[in-house]
Amino acid sequence: MKQHNYHGALQQPLHSGFNAASTAADVMKGIDLTGKIVIITGGYAGIGLETTRILAAAGATVIVPARDVEKAAANVGGIAHIEVAKMDLMDPQSVDLFASTFIASGRPLHRLINNAGIMWVPFRKDDRGYESQLATNHLGHFQLTARLWPALKKANGARVINVSSFGHQIAPFNFDDPNFESRTYETLQGYGQSKTANNLFTVELDKRGSSSHVRAYSLHPGSVNGTDLGREAPMALFQQMGTHDTNGNIYPEVAAKLKTVPQGAATTVWCATSPMLDHIGGVYCEDVDVAVIDNGDIVHHYDEPWTLKGVRPYSLDEANAQRLWRLSEAMTNIVFDAV
């Protein structure tokens, strides 16, 4: 039995019984998480908030690290079994402080859901000089996972879920210039490579961590209506994709095809809880199942969200995954053995 998903070795649908219309609540039927500890970055808005709500309702204690603690506390108010703590993925010291506080509590960590992300933002850098989408979507989560590794091992059966995107298809990872120091900044390229990084991180993390009973998964939640992920994106991008009219309004026929937030959270919840994944990891999932490989033979139309599917081979490549791991260690100044 293959113990890795290099080159998509395990990348084939499992016939989960769910589909694109399934909701997080559908997926959770019959699953009890009493006694489980879950950390969800970005777990106070959009599909992250729905993920928090569903897992907490199943009995899990859910810890929500947030840059804006007051906003997070207000958003999760009324949900039982929730803890809110301060953390900013763009601030390495903040990540270390959050993780060290959790480790000091002595608790195991059964699920780490790296859900927070930014998309299509203007060119910004963190204090280290790293492009913000790469810093937030990948490097911050790489650091967080590394710092929480002792607690993940302690759970003796943990899962790490990296919320990626179909956006990985926009761009492979640019190892020569990941921070746009010698090329013109294109926000779509920055977003695309950060999501490719999520997939490559997942493949390598699962390969390294499976012997410690830590499995990893990445996923595309789908095209979801009602989130603020693209709040900073220029309207011209959406118009270019054919989803919005000249006045900046989404076409009603496109909106009708988008997933609801409960549907958008379904694949995250499935990756976090499904018994079907007990003996498989490193895979990229979508529509509540393992996704198919896209070798360039799937036709995609942004105004037909159901066509936005498949995972590109470059984001499952062994050499790319190992190279990204080494680069991430160097950029974060962390040695992450993951064993």
Residues 287-320: tens digit of each pLDDT: 999 999 999 999 998 778 889 999 999 999 999 9
pTM for the full model?
A: 0.94
- Identify the pLDDT of residue 228: 60
Residue 132 belongs to a domain with what CATH number? 3.40.50.720
Q: What confidence tens digit (pLDDT) does each residue in 99-119 have?
A: 999 999 999 999 999 999 999
| Residue 321 maps to a domain | yes
**Structural domain contains residue 241:** no
Q: Are the CB atoms for 50 and 24 separated by under 8 Å?
A: yes
| Burial category of 176 from C-beta neighbours within 10 Å (exposed 0-12, middle 13-18, buried 19 and up) | exposed
**pLDDT-based confidence at residue 244 (cuts at 50, 70, 90):** low
Indicate the pLDDT class of residue 243, thresholds 50, 70 and 90: low
Domain membership flag for residue 338:
no
**Taking a C-beta distance cutoff of 8 angstroms, is the pair 267, 222 a contact?**
yes
Indicate whether 168 belongs to any domain.
Answer: yes
Does residue 253 fall inside a structural domain? no
Burial of 85 (0-12, 13-18, 19+ CB in 10 A): middle
In this model, does residue 252 exceed pLDDT 80?
no
DSSP 3-state assignment of 317? Answer: coil
- Whether 313 is in a domain gets the answer yes
Q: Where are the alpha helices (DSSP H) in the chain?
A: 24-28, 46-57, 69-76, 92-104, 132-134, 140-147, 149-154, 187-209, 235-241, 252-255, 261-264, 266-273, 318-332
Q: What's the pLDDT tens digit per position in 185-228? A: 999 999 999 999 999 999 999 999 999 999 999 999 998 876 56
Range of the domain at 71: 6-232+260-331
Instruction: Count CB atoms within 10 A of the CB of residue 277.
Output: 19
Model confidence at 2: pLDDT above 70:
no
Catalytic residue among 6, 44, 130, 191: 191
329, 284, 278: which is closest to 309 by C-alpha?
284
- Torsions phi, psi for 169 (to 5 deg): -70, -15
Q: Which of 227, 233, 169 is nearest to 195 (CA)?
A: 169
Q: Is residue 25 part of a domain?
A: yes
Question: Rounded to 5 degrees, what angle do the CA atoms 45, 14, 12 make?
Answer: 95
Across the chain, mean pLDDT equals 93
Q: What is the pLDDT of residues 35-83, one digit of tens each?
A: 999 999 999 999 999 999 999 999 999 999 999 999 999 999 999 999 9
Local structure of residue 134 (DSSP, 8 states) = H
Q: Give the closest residue to 87 by CA, choosing from 33, 147, 131, 128.
A: 147
Q: What pLDDT, on a 0 to 100 scale, did the predictor assign at position 170?
A: 96
Sheet containing strand 111-114, strands side by side? 82-86, 61-66, 37-40, 111-114, 158-163, 214-220, 284-286, 289-290
CA 157 to chain centre: 19
Residue 251 lies in a domain: no
Q: How many domains does the chain have?
A: 1
Checking if the pLDDT of 254 tops 70, the result is no
- Catalytic residue flag (residue 191): yes
140 contacts 95 by C-beta, under 8 angstroms: yes
